[in-house]
Chain A
């Protein structure tokens, strides 16, 4: 199978940079500290009270899960905001567009590069989340939904980052705008979840609905990115 050249090139350059290993260490270190501290306090409390609170173990899972989602929301713009604007700043975007690469290849390569880093974070943190299985309480369904939500968030946030990056000429501006859009998007999502009864959305539809909306928006944002980097004829304004 032919590997996307942009993805391959980005993987080579990111493997040489200090960013990715530092990110993996930082994220997994933070999550590990969170889980270990929680375990420590649960066991210390058990020594004092003589009873083990299984609810607290379950809480570890929720805390770690929310922390991981937040980390993805924070990390993704930093990873993706440089994707297209970086090529533009290095003046390589024009060169890429003169090759046989389709603008879709460029956008897809950038998405794959970002997802490569993010999924590395998700999967390397799996053992930390798996600590909840020491005592049970989480079903496979819940775990699958959570991992799918992480993947969906990674794709959605990456798409926002790439789209903003394709419009922006500077990386700093792209990063700031991507954070704002991600913050607004997730605020809206949580509002919809919280007020689903008032909005008339049945409970069994809310999770599939969020997934469909995020994936649909992701494809739309990627399409906009592709369109924006494709050289095109300027539309004439109608006279009169």
Chain B
């Protein structure tokens, strides 16, 4: 388990982390999301022991990160947002070099290197020099390098940044396969779709603070709860509007085509009661569902870029909310 407790870190007058608290369970695929400059890389470097907090604690498997414990270093594989390559080295020499850095020399290591290169699709190109690789291949090599010592925890800092859609897809597949092997995977990314497709947990950071953290399903439920309910009516909307006017939990109503979009603050049981009341009032309800939320919207909302446009759109269309 990785835990950061009230971590603060500043560079001069700039607060990179301002009381960050986060918890990552064993075996989780943790999506670490935040706008540029939110403090993701600083937090990741702390987990890898490359930075120390000014205040607070960073623990990895009950050991203090950066305590230079060899046992701890063996558990972590790090994929930075840049490959960190040696242009004059061949791919196989690069892998051999990092294997030696982990004190691995035997035949088993050689086989493992071949397996890893095969996994990332670079086995055929292993005698090529690193400077001949494109960004995608370099990033794949970086992943293979990070796995050389079979770490329990894999930490990746924006691993798919700058990759083309095909390579990004391949990368996601590889990460999904790694997750099946029981590794704890931490991925920082700005591509929110990736996070929702891949991760089991998510943490949203802004200005060095965790603004939301939890299981991805719970977070998406939270997003859904703040979205409008869409009621499709067959025929005239008048009776439906009349019924909704009397409901205290209906905050606003707007009309889109032949659908009513309502802001509703009740629980799921309240939602079903509302539907029951509409049907009992003789409203010809054709459809009743809450609009699906997306992480993009939540991210924008939590990091201060609220979706004013959409709210305004609903309000402007409403001919009922003020009445």
Contact = CB atoms under 8 A, between A and B. Distances in A.
A234 B52 contact: yes
Interface residues of A, number: 26
Contacts of A234: 52, 54
B85 A5 contact: no
A54 to B, nearest CB: 49
Interface stretch (A11-19, A129-137, A155-163): A11-19
Interface string A78-117: 0000000000001110111111111000000000000000
Contacts of A95: 78, 80, 84, 98, 145
B50 A97 contact: yes
B50 to A, nearest CB: 5
A99 B98 contact: yes
A111 to B, nearest CB: 17
A232 interface: yes
Contacts of B50: 94, 97-98, 231
B102 interface: yes
A59 interface: no
B48 interface: yes
Given A12-B88, A98-B48, A99-B98, A91 B103 contact: no
Given A5-B100, A231-B52, A99 B84 contact: no
Nearest to B79: A95
Given A8-B100, A100-B74, A90 B49 contact: no
A238 interface: no
B48 A13 contact: no
A12 to B, nearest CB: 6
Assign chain B's interface to a size class. Answer: 20 to 34
A26 B100 CA distance: 34
Contacts of B49: 97-98, 231
A9 interface: yes
Contacts of B78: 94-95, 98
Contacts of B70: 100
A100 B74 CA distance: 7
A233 interface: yes
Interface in B85-125: 85-86, 88-89, 93, 97-98, 100-103, 105
Contacts of A96: 101
Given A9-B89, A16-B88, A94 B52 contact: no
Interface in B44-76: 45, 48-52, 54, 66, 68, 70, 73-74, 76
B306 interface: no
Contacts of B100: 5, 8
Contact of A99 (B51, B86, B93, B101): B101
Nearest to A95: B84
B292 interface: no
Given A12-B89, A231-B66, A101 B45 contact: no
A97 to B, nearest CB: 6
A17 B129 CA distance: 13
A105 B290 CA distance: 59
B256 interface: no
B82 interface: yes
Interface string A30-72: 0000000000000000000000000000000000000000000
Interface of B: 45, 48-52, 54, 66, 68, 70, 73-74, 76, 78, 80, 82, 84-86, 88-89, 93, 97-98, 100-103, 105, 145, 149
Interface of A: 2, 5, 8-9, 12-13, 16-17, 90-92, 94-102, 230-234, 236
25 contacts: A2-B103, A5-B97, A5-B101, A8-B97, A12-B89, A13-B89, A92-B86, A94-B48, A94-B80, A95-B80, A95-B84, A95-B98, A97-B50, A98-B48, A98-B49, A99-B98, A99-B101, A100-B73, A100-B74, A100-B149, A101-B101, A230-B68, A231-B51, A231-B66, A236-B54
